[in-house]
Structure 1
Amino acid sequence: MPLFGRDTELKDLAALVEGPADRSGILIRGEAGIGKSALADEAVAAAAIAGVRVLRTAGVQAEQNYAYAGLHRLLYPLRKELTGLPERQYDALATALGLSDSGDEPTAYLVGLAVLTLLADAAYERPLLVVAEDVHWLDPASAEVMAFVARRIDTEPIAVIATSRDDIDTPLADAGLSLVRLEPLSDDDASALLNLVAPELPAQVRDRLQAEANGNPLALTELATAMVDLDELPAALPLTDRLERAFSARGATLPASTRAALLAAALNDGDAVAETLSAASILLGSPTELEILTPAVENRLLVLGDGTVAFRHPLMRSALIAAATPDERARTHRALADVLAGHPDRRAWQRAAAATGADEQAALELEDVAERARHRGGAIAALQRAADLSDSPGLRADRLLRAAEFAVDSGRRDTAERLVQAARMLPTTPRHDATAAWLLSGFDDGLRENPSRIAELAALAAAVAADGYPDAAMRILWGAAMRCFWSEPGADTRRALLAVADELPVDGDDPRIVAVSAYVAPFERGERVIDRLRALASDTGRNHEVDRFLGSAALQVGAFDLAAHFSAAAAPGFRAAGQLGLLPRALTVQAWTLTRLGDLPAAARAAAEAADFARETGQPFMHGLATAVQAEIAALRGDYPHAAALAGDAERIGLASSARPVLATVQLARGIVALGEGRYDDAFADLRRMHDPRDPSHSPALRAYFLAELTDAAIRAGRADALRELLRGLEPAVASTPSPALHIGWRYAHALLATDDAEAHFAGALAADLTAWPAERGRLHLSYGEWLRRQRRVVESRTHLRTAREIFDALGFTAWSERARLELRSAGESSPNRDPDARDRLTPHELSIARLAAQGLTNREIGQRLYLSHRTVSTHLHRIFPKLGVSSRTDLAGLLPTDEGATA
């Protein structure tokens, strides 16, 4: 049947099938019955003509509790190709699809990488069209994987077409697909459709039908075909309800045996016709044959396939379920449970659906389902339903809190809060209270909270510890400590947190205690933390979670070299495990600290990847901080317009969430831009804001680590007295901690502020061990050379200025390079033009790929590291080689030396 009123949409789909061009896919949204599936069918037909291979799946409401059900349907035609996947990807995908139970639950991201590789390999032989209908009803695991893949196929011969209802959310809505929203048909198009499907309708009925259908093609065709008495359908009902009434009325005219089989098909979570007939046999008490479904097929409710049964439209299924009585539904669910004895998970869900009150046996079976679940979403759903069926409040609270724990692990804060709140409304034990308390304390990213919340968590941690639950107290304490980084609770709250930490029966060398001390008291406990970090630095790589804790701790206390070391050690573990929710945290710490150390190429790679993954995994704090670091990098490279744009983006995120480190880093980037442009008053104003407790960018620890930039701005703006006042406020911190970043900046500031003994201050600052801090060493040489030239010691100044120029050229600090060149010219020495480093010609993403290729990794290995398909890697390398003027990986190795700070 031709489609009316969809010419524009058909052209868009045809263009996508012929070649994705600048978009990877289309998401078709609209109300039920608006024609989404008809458009998808047209695209499939066009693909057949174009020689494009098609893979299809669809969300089914009854399958939402079964992890990867939709993915299994999509990939079934490729099942023989799974063995060609890399071992880790094969294990993840085989486990997800139930083909293997040899491994632990794989993350959706690792499964997504396997699917991406599988599809890319298939598309290499023949272009591929992936069609996913009713994605709003896909099980959450499949939806996450589909969204992951959709974001990464822009360079692949793969196109995605998805369809979704307007009123239901789906992860694919944020996966970069072009949106096509279907509107109702115009009156002319609706009339043309009615002329085709019901030309004999009386004029009065036709006019009423067209008005009631409101341009909905399904309503126009189905209501007209059924010849429903429209006067029995109240106009106040939504169109979807009127359609469901029409479908249920159509089913009511069928024989009783057919109605029983229809309800079994509607309530079954599978599409095997044999299951439907077996359940109908139990309900009717006698064997049934396929002919029992013939009346439903003739009435255009069902479509029979090769051993399968499907409803012509999802509304038909929901209409039949809604029309059945509770007793009829329960009896049918029990019959299906008996039929599904060989499928324990499906059987458990059918038994649970049949229950009308508490059913502990059904609850226990659902607990087993949760244990076997291959995705946290399935486990949460099973435990929630098990809680509903529990025969005691204690068991119900246990199951709700266990479901909440899975929600926390999945980063689903809203779900976790709802489950914990439900558990707290029940009679609970101290153990329940302790569990509920720590579950919600772990969320530290993405929510703006009142700093008083930190004080509440401190008191809660103390109470939970007093009740004999030290591990729960430790978890709560960690959540509170993390908040001390993002916001400022005040000295009293920080002291309360330290008091709780000191009283916990936990080894003082526990990485969590080390990190808590660093977050809560970076200066007061700085010496103890730094000593412990140095002792642990040689023991990295064994536990990436521990390495992440220690990397964060090192950043707080200004040990940036150690922070870069620990975070670089943590990243590979998160990659290998597919923990992309935690990876941005390690990468952001790595990027932040490498920028301060001067390794801009490695920092840019880490920051770009952190920003991408943080956005994808819904972590606005980390996304904002990574974006602010990108702004700082652009400023250091002299790209001031780009730095300003990135700083603005990061500031919007930071202000919305009141994330102080984001705003502090934004001010740093702006201060560097102002310094580079010679706007010294502006630079000092930007950087001074971090030292004002009333300013949202005030960060008690970070403000102490930007003293060199603050000093440069203050001296050039003639604000030396204001600088001295700010430094006096930091004297207690300098006396209490050996923080490298603080002391390097402190020595630099006093060298520039000194009058009679400036040379001694410069000599002392340069005598410190700056091996891991080349940017700071270059800054000292530059300022010392400038001071010598002002003292008319021109010949001596050239040595320091030349050293500074060479350091900044090597680091890519364009603004500082130019400043050194200008000073050298004033000292009577010209400088050669700086040849752009090979790394400057590539984007951070390209640089990540090029560096890994230079190390000898294959395209597949690079793809596994960066969560890309190996064919996407190949495409990037074909762009990278001409940019660098090389033709092989061997040439890359000579241009791109390895470095410890690289994203592993």
Structure 2
Amino acid sequence: MRADGTTAGLVGRDAQMDALERLLHGVRHRGVAVLVRGEAGIGKSALLHHVSGTAAALGLRVVSTTGVESEATLPFAGLHQLVRPLLGRLPALPAPQRRALRAAFGLTDDAAPELFLTGLAALTLISDSAADQPLVLVVDDAHWLDRPSADVLGFVARRLESEAVVLVAAQRDGFPPVLSGPALVEHHLARLDRRAAEDVLARRAPQLDPAVRRRLLAEATGNPLALVELPLEGSRDEWAPLTLTARLEQAFADRLPGLPDETRDLLLVAALEDGGDLGAARAAASALRGHEVTAEALTPAVEVGLVVADGAGLAFRHPLVRHAIRQRATLAERQRAHVALAGTLRDPDRQTWHRAVACDAPDDAVAADLEDAAARAQRRGGVAAAQAALERAARLTADPAERARRYLQAAELAFEWGRPDVVDRLLQETAALDVPARERTRMTVIREGFEEGIRDVRAGTRVLTEVAAAAAADGRADQALRFLQAASLRCWWADPGAEARARLLEVVDRALDPDDVLVLEVLSYVAPFERGALVLDRLRALSGGPVDALRAQAAGDAASVVGDFPLAVEFLTSAQTGLRAEGRLGLLGRALAVQAWSALNVGRFDLAATAADEAARLAADSAQPLMGAVALVVQSVVSAVRGAEDVEDRLAEAARLGLEVDSNAVLAGVQFARGTVALDRGLHQAAWDHLVRLSDPADPAHHPVVRSFAVGDLVEAAVHSGHRSEVGPIVADLEEIAARTSSPVLLVGLRYGRALLAPEDEAEDLFSAALAADLSAWPFARARLQLAHGAWRRRRRRAAESRAPLRAARDTFDALGAAGWGDRARSELRASGEQSRPRTPEAREQLSPQELLIAQLAAQGLTNREIGARLYLSHRTVGTHLHRIFPKLGITSRVALRAAIGPEPATSTVAATVT
């Protein structure tokens, strides 16, 4: 037993200690992130202490941080504490990453860049440091980390596999997990069993009376902290019926009355400003007492087991100690302590917060200072901190109109960082005030949301449309466009009805510039068939010219919706350059998901696979479940086309995400994928059953646009499963749509469908007409048309004539990696009397999508650092992948990569500019 009363060893945690020690021993071969969870007092910090000691004994470098409740409003405070020992390497980072970290830590006046650029900078710093000596990152009380630090650590945790780094974080139950991801190792600490609990109690209080021992064991119920602390309370005959947490807090609080006054004051200021700086606590306590308080004043608190001191710092034995001290103090005592802290701390934001907490009445000067602090926090990327500061500023504001303004600004920030519960609370506070008309409009917009909230899509679309109309009438065109973008996006993910669409179009036509690419994107979502021809004409006019990243993305999205998938790929490839450079991973994830979907529909399966793989990872980083669902759909189809058997799990997960938000667009994509996979396997009845749902208005998977993408597949399934009569009306309806729009994918599909459905005497001409169209950008569709044409000729005893289209189809399928379709073409050729050699898989097909993308970039001459910066990975992770890639390709150097992986993917002809 140690002098401070803690046990010398952990009891009942052998399994967790063994598992963590194995990870530490293997850190040079594989990095990992671990989350330790459990209730208060369960031993999380003790387990982290064991990890730190074991790591040091193994020669690993340990850096640590602790989430502190009072610092939850200081952006990047936790991250700064963690990586501060590594900052000597900061000058060696690439310039954009170096600037990002310096701005995030307040070392410059620059605005913090996108969060994910800061995340990449932290990852590079950690990776480079681990190259010299493996690192163990220890994060205690992670639930109290400021939001930007937590997001960056989550980003880093998902990218450690190839690093010599173990990240171990501990957090209390009842909070959202700080770390997440498929590779995360999680340990939930349960209460100790009876034998282990008896062992702890015997070590802590060996002389206890048996009856008291039994009562303590029952009271503690296996909680280690309770087993250590409750014996100090003696053998009370009666204890109040409190929860265990309250009992422990009371146990700590009961030790306070016997302490000297200056010790209690020192503990109080330390509890209110819990950064662990003994000097700062002494200064505030001295101001509070009116004379110097020395470090010796802490000794009585150490002796009763409330704190641990090491010279310059102090730490509370447990967060419950800090909470007990705060609760035991009166309101007046806490206010005086806050005033003392505000007068002695150096950091202006901390000073402002303590002044604010000390206020018990409106104070416009403090409110103004809080608003300034919010602006500084937001500039550094601390949206959550800015929201908290603005909310407190509103509460201290005397003027109702000014208070409403601050509440609404705080609500907007709460929406931005994903806290609808906080948004609701702030809007309720605002609604109780006499809010001007314009601010009520802001309330409506915040409540409806700017992005993809679609649970009440009809009402939401109408409200956003009317708010946009009001903004336009006030001359606020930029705001009007923003609201209309949100409303139009809802029209894609779920149908608001014809009336809502018509009203939205009316406002767009009256308020916005039809030549603006961002407006074209709105039109594509709202009226893809009615305005599709107009949108395509203007998009094609833009192709080949300079377009900034945001507008290139908007153009790509619009082109995808109106069915020009080759053009969509072109614009979205262009957009990614700027989005990557700016660290806008949320938008980049969206661009990659739409690019993957577009590439899939034209048969560029390599690009579809690599884009979907990256989109899935970025969707997890940026909390975009709908984009994650699109990525899952694409991954499933590409895997099936390339011979994978089990893809339903991914599709089921995508369907679950779609159902969660009631999105018929996602459900339609899932059914489209299931139909495509069934066709690939020759299961025509199953394909029909999946695809026909897209055309049934009563089906939750009905989507007018997605069904237009699938018309060729639907006809093929119908023809081979006895549903010719049922498919006829659907095709006729789509023919009418095609007459008023120029959707390329619809025209390609209808030409294919016409040939398959044609009478005997018309089919040859229709096949020829379909093949005469320019399908150079649609290789998969052309190959399927050639396969169907050749098979039709063979069945009519025109074997010799069938072979040319069948050979062309086989060769294209082989080049695209569509194994099942290639086998079908070979089968038809055999039936025509011609043998084909089996397809020889290309070396590149052994690579995972991420490996293929890295190989492609390396083949273009990019260095590992450049590839890492582009893909938001560490350069060491890139190097690890290349070491795995070379043996798979049968090569030993980068020089041979270009030849080994074949031609580079098609390049864009849109010139992108970064603005």
TM-score range, shorter chain: over 0.9
Structure 1 position 10, deviation (Å): 2.0
Q: Secondary structure at the match of 1:822?
A: helix
Instruction: Tell me whether 852-861 or 24-33 shows the greater mean CA deviation.
Output: 24-33
Question: Which of 9, 17, 27 is the equivalent residue of 1:10?
Answer: 17
Structure 1 position 520, deviation (Å): 0.9
1:63 aligns with 2:63: no
Query: How big is each residue's C-alpha offset from its partner over 1:74-107, in whole Å with a ceiling of 9 and x where there is no partner?
Result: 1121121122212111111121122233x32233
Question: Which of 204, 219, 231 is the equivalent residue of 1:224?
Answer: 231
Q: Which residue is 2:50 aligned to?
A: 42
Structure 1 position 650, deviation (Å): 2.1
Instruction: Tell me whether 119-128 or 348-357 shows the greater mean CA deviation.
Output: 119-128
Structure 1 position 485, deviation (Å): 1.0
In the TM superposition, what are the counterparts of 1:457-476 in structure 2 within 5 Å?
Answer: 457-466=464-473, 469-476=476-483
Q: Which runs of 5+ in 1 are unaligned?
A: none
* C-alpha contact 1:625 1:661 (8 A) present in aligned 2: no
Structure 1 position 347, deviation (Å): 0.9
* C-alpha contact 2:220 2:227 (8 A) present in aligned 1: yes
Structure 1 position 839, deviation (Å): 2.6
Query: How big is each residue's C-alpha offset from its partner over 1:774-812, in whole Å with a ceiling of 9 and x where there is no partner?
Result: 222222222222233334333332222222222221112
Query: How big is each residue's C-alpha offset from its partner over 1:747-794, in whole Å with a ceiling of 9 and x where there is no partner?
Result: 222222233333332232222222221222222222222233334333
Instruction: Tell me whether 546-555 or 651-660 shows the greater mean CA deviation.
Output: 651-660
Structure 2 counterpart of 1:212, one-letter code: E
Q: Which residue is 1:565 aligned to?
A: 570
* C-alpha contact 1:442 1:475 (8 A) present in aligned 2: no
Structure 1 position 136, deviation (Å): 1.1
In the TM superposition, what are the counterparts of 1:297-696 in structure 2 within 5 Å?
Answer: 297-340=302-345, 342-373=346-377, 374=380, 375-445=382-452, 448-466=455-473, 469-504=476-511, 506-542=512-548, 544-639=549-644, 641-696=645-700
Counterpart-to-counterpart distance in 2, 1:837 and 1:350: 66
Counterpart-to-counterpart distance in 1, 2:177 and 2:359: 30
Counterpart-to-counterpart distance in 1, 2:649 and 2:271: 54
Counterpart-to-counterpart distance in 2, 1:391 and 1:292: 41
Structure 2 counterpart of 1:312, one-letter code: R
Structure 2 counterpart of 1:426, one-letter code: L
Question: Which of 866, 871, 878 is the equivalent residue of 2:871?
Answer: 866
Instruction: Tell me whether 452-461 or 249-258 shows the greater mean CA deviation.
Output: 452-461
* C-alpha contact 2:454 2:493 (8 A) present in aligned 1: no
Structure 1 position 599, deviation (Å): 0.7
Structure 2 counterpart of 1:509, one-letter code: D
Query: How big is each residue's C-alpha offset from its partner over 1:113-166, in whole Å with a ceiling of 9 and x where there is no partner?
Result: 222222222222222211111111111121112221111112222112221111
Q: Which residue is 1:127 aligned to?
A: 134
* C-alpha contact 1:273 1:308 (8 A) present in aligned 2: yes
Structure 1 position 233, deviation (Å): 4.3
Structure 1 position 412, deviation (Å): 4.3
Structure 1 position 892, deviation (Å): 0.7
Q: Secondary structure at the match of 1:582?
A: helix
Q: Which residue is 2:727 aligned to?
A: 723
Counterpart-to-counterpart distance in 1, 2:870 and 2:446: 31
Q: Which runs of 5+ in 2 are unaligned?
A: 1-7
Structure 1 position 525, deviation (Å): 0.5
Q: Which residue is 2:262 aligned to?
A: 257
Q: Secondary structure at the match of 2:179?
A: helix
Structure 1 counterpart of 2:678, one-letter code: A
Structure 2 counterpart of 1:635, one-letter code: A
Structure 2 counterpart of 1:427, one-letter code: D
Counterpart-to-counterpart distance in 2, 1:621 and 1:576: 24
Counterpart-to-counterpart distance in 1, 2:181 and 2:454: 20
Change (3 A) 1:851 1:135: same
Q: Secondary structure at the match of 1:252?
A: coil
Structure 1 counterpart of 2:492, one-letter code: F
Structure 1 counterpart of 2:537, one-letter code: D
Q: Which residue is 1:183 aligned to?
A: 190
* C-alpha contact 2:445 2:464 (8 A) present in aligned 1: no
Counterpart-to-counterpart distance in 1, 2:876 and 2:826: 44
Q: Secondary structure at the match of 1:570?
A: helix
Identity fraction in percent = 47
Q: Which residue is 2:845 aligned to?
A: 840
Counterpart-to-counterpart distance in 2, 1:287 and 1:645: 67
Query: How big is each residue's C-alpha offset from its partner over 1:300-321, in whole Å with a ceiling of 9 and x where there is no partner?
Result: 2222224222222221111111
Counterpart-to-counterpart distance in 2, 1:327 and 1:671: 69
Counterpart-to-counterpart distance in 2, 1:685 and 1:201: 73
Q: Secondary structure at the match of 2:12?
A: coil
Structure 1 position 682, deviation (Å): 2.4
Query: How big is each residue's C-alpha offset from its partner over 1:715-756, in whole Å with a ceiling of 9 and x where there is no partner?
Result: 222333333211111233111111111111122222222333
Query: How big is each residue's C-alpha offset from its partner over 1:619-653, in whole Å with a ceiling of 9 and x where there is no partner?
Result: 222111211111222233343x2333332332232
Query: How big is each residue's C-alpha offset from its partner over 1:377-428, in whole Å with a ceiling of 9 and x where there is no partner?
Result: 2212211221221222222222222223333443444444443443344322
Instruction: Tell me whether 161-170 or 520-529 shows the greater mean CA deviation.
Output: 161-170
Q: Which residue is 2:739 aligned to?
A: 735
Q: Which residue is 2:764 aligned to?
A: 759
Structure 1 position 540, deviation (Å): 4.8
Counterpart-to-counterpart distance in 1, 2:16 and 2:641: 47
* C-alpha contact 1:567 1:587 (8 A) present in aligned 2: yes
Query: How big is each residue's C-alpha offset from its partner over 1:1-31, in whole Å with a ceiling of 9 and x where there is no partner?
Result: 2222222222222222212577713322222
Instruction: Tell me whether 427-436 or 878-887 shows the greater mean CA deviation.
Output: 427-436
Q: Which residue is 1:195 aligned to?
A: 202
* C-alpha contact 2:569 2:598 (8 A) present in aligned 1: yes
Instruction: Tell me whether 516-525 or 437-446 shows the greater mean CA deviation.
Output: 437-446
Structure 1 position 699, deviation (Å): 0.9
Q: Secondary structure at the match of 1:131?
A: strand
Counterpart-to-counterpart distance in 1, 2:691 and 2:428: 43
Q: Which residue is 1:162 aligned to?
A: 169
Q: Which residue is 1:114 aligned to?
A: 121
Matched positions, count: 897
Q: Secondary structure at the match of 1:563?
A: helix
TM-score of the aligned structures, taking structure 1 as reference length: 0.95
* C-alpha contact 1:514 1:529 (8 A) present in aligned 2: yes
Q: Which residue is 1:889 aligned to?
A: 894
Counterpart-to-counterpart distance in 1, 2:800 and 2:478: 64
Counterpart-to-counterpart distance in 2, 1:446 and 1:429: 26
Q: Secondary structure at the match of 2:543?
A: helix
Query: How big is each residue's C-alpha offset from its partner over 1:430-476, in whole Å with a ceiling of 9 and x where there is no partner?
Result: 32123333335454446544544334433444455456544433322
* C-alpha contact 2:668 2:702 (8 A) present in aligned 1: yes
Query: How big is each residue's C-alpha offset from its partner over 1:161-198, in whole Å with a ceiling of 9 and x where there is no partner?
Result: 22111123332255743222222233333333233222
Question: Which of 233, 237, 242 is the equivalent residue of 2:247?
Answer: 242
Change (3 A) 1:385 1:115: same
Change (3 A) 1:174 1:612: closer
Q: Which residue is 2:4 aligned to?
A: none
Instruction: Tell me whether 136-145 or 14-23 shows the greater mean CA deviation.
Output: 14-23
Counterpart-to-counterpart distance in 2, 1:184 and 1:10: 15
Question: Which of 790, 811, 816 is the equivalent residue of 2:795?
Answer: 790
Change (3 A) 1:637 1:15: closer
* C-alpha contact 2:771 2:782 (8 A) present in aligned 1: yes
* C-alpha contact 1:446 1:621 (8 A) present in aligned 2: no
Counterpart-to-counterpart distance in 2, 1:420 and 1:854: 54
Q: Secondary structure at the match of 2:586?
A: coil
Change (3 A) 1:519 1:566: same
Q: Secondary structure at the match of 2:256?
A: helix
Q: Secondary structure at the match of 1:729?
A: helix
Counterpart-to-counterpart distance in 2, 1:435 and 1:87: 39
Structure 1 position 252, deviation (Å): 1.6
Counterpart-to-counterpart distance in 1, 2:798 and 2:350: 85
Superposition CA RMSD, Å: 2.3
Instruction: Tell me whether 854-863 or 789-798 shows the greater mean CA deviation.
Output: 789-798
Q: Secondary structure at the match of 1:171?
A: coil
Counterpart-to-counterpart distance in 2, 1:836 and 1:700: 38
Change (3 A) 1:317 1:411: closer
